[in-house]
A and B are shown apart, each in its own frame.
Chain A
Amino acid sequence: MHNFCGLFLLVIFGILAIFFIRYVRTVKNLKASLLQVSKSFQELDTQAKLILQTDLELNKTQEALDKRLNGLDALHKISRLISTTLIEDEIFRRLNQPFLVELGFEKFLILTFQNSSPFTVRVDFGFPRNEVAPVVQTFNNKPHILQAVKQGKAISSLSAPKDIKEVFTGILSVRQFIITPILSQKNILGIILAGNHSESYTLTEGDEEVISILADQIGHSLANARLFEQAYRSSQELERKVQDRTKELTSALEEVQRISKTKSEFISAVSHELRTPLTSIKGYASILITGKIGEVPEKVRERLEKINKHTDNLVALINNLLDISRIESGRVEMKILEHDIPSIIANVHDLLIPQMRDKNIQFVTNFDEPLPNVFIDSGQIERVFINLINNAIKFTPISGTITAKVTHDKQKVTVGIADTGIGIKDEDAKKLFTEFYRADNEINQNVKGTGLGLALAKKIVEAHGGQIWVTSKVSVGTCFYFTLPTEPKASSATAAQG
């Protein structure tokens, strides 16, 4: 029994020993596992540390990037706003917008000055009302503070020496600041002062760049606005001068027109008054020449014929004067009808054949084929042709040539009457169409004329809406050109007044 109990206890002891050994092993394993878990946990915490630090760096970068993007975005908006106006006050009005807040500054001050005058506040933002005036006063009273700025450099709390930094943080009541000049070419137009009091804002070099770009934009816009203002004022001045001059000229023109009208009326009145007695003189002279009243001695007849001839000349002169006067005053009613130029030239040629034969002058025509018809008063235009061809005969030497050339385009026919005469000097050519002007040459000195023929021709051509001009070469010849319309004008009255 004892042996059995002893054996039993031995077995129990053995089992317990086995369990104990297994327990010790389990504990040992668990301890090892715990250590492993603890190590892993520690490792995870170390990784967490790395994650947090990396995350912090990333966030800082992200925040700086966000700030930069916001700044650039705001800058873009501001640039667009201020670049679309050329009015200086409007530029600053547009700057006074919440966009400036987006640049990342709590306080903003833009001061401008012109010709060393004191600074003027153009934009103030974030400064309490009572702070702005002392700040401006400080800048006005202590110009040496701005020495660095006037050299065109930006000053900021990032880069300024300690003493300057203290001065500006004190003046602006901020912790961080940027002061940037507003430049236009090499002139300083003003300054931008931007600052932050709160520590939640961190000034970066990027902020300096953004404010610098803003200053450049403002500088450009201001320069443009001032240039525009200058140009505008000049244009206003010019416009005023033009208006004054126009007024003077209008007044002078009115005076000239008034005098011209008086002259025309005078000529018209005098001409009428002269023509009546002249008609009587010519009539009596003609009757006396016929000898119906009594025989006229030969010498008296000669004198009477001279009276008759000079009376005819005087009547022709008066008629020309009357025509010019009528055309000028629009009292001539043009009978505008469709005509062909070659027929008119042929008629005039027939009329002047005797004079041409006297000097053995060859008359040549040169017309474009086919020629369009023209809308003219044929009687008046015939006078133009007679005048010009008569002139050509007068100045063409014996056996010379007169050429009538007619060309055309869509709107007009151009007529040229060319001679192979003595030609006209340039200075005379310019004045040929002036009333009573006669070129100073040998022929004119010997042959009498009124100096009204070309003036009358000019009036008639212009009354048709055409132009007349002359080209000439001394000793070679002269050519008179004039144009006539191929389309009817709106009304004959208009044509008459043209």
Chain B
Amino acid sequence: MTEDSAILQLRNVTGGYGKKQVLFGVSLVVRRGELVAIIGPNGAGKSTVFKVAMGYLQPWEGLVFLNGQGVRSLPTHERVARRMGYVPQGRVVFPDMTVDEHLDVGAWLVKSREARRRAKEYVFQIFPRLAERRGQKAGTMSGGERQMLSMGRALMAQPTIILLDEPSLGLSPKLVDEVFQHIETINRAGVAVLMVEQNAAKALRHAHRAYVIDMGKNHLEGSGKQLLDDPEVRRSYLGG
């Protein structure tokens, strides 16, 4: 069926919202421990791919595999229980909940108190800034802090793959670098990463492999370096 090492696989997925078709056949695979990027213009359907992968949106056709098993109609929370993490676009947080409470909610599936404590310690180790703001409400935090909180929250459930939708969008250049550092750290700890990025050049430099998605379809794929050197990619997606 699927390769043994594939954690997440989409095969010829089509779909959309109501009658409006957005995806016209998207296929991709993320293997254990990989860092994979998706780039492509605004409105290409990248976030929609994530919504299908997470089960927020049912695909019209095509297959979604998680660890080799078909999960087409598995509800989102059960995909999370199978160790998928998701950080939506826009640094969405629970505005009235504190940093601590976010991490507690992120650990909803972790039943042992000791494991929860360790997970929190790990998150604070990666994001020391969060440890300083444990009692602060998320709604009052800066964009960069909210992005880290979102990622920390997703890490609490100890995912084997994490989907990051535009993690660096709208951040200052310094914070963008910081976020990419964090993504590398998370990936090096063994978590597979699938990220959508507007910051295409940076994403390709960090990614093992990448997909270009355009108009709801796979357009190109290759190693980060291959795409970085590809004249068409440079022209169309890297701005020269």
- Does B bind A? no
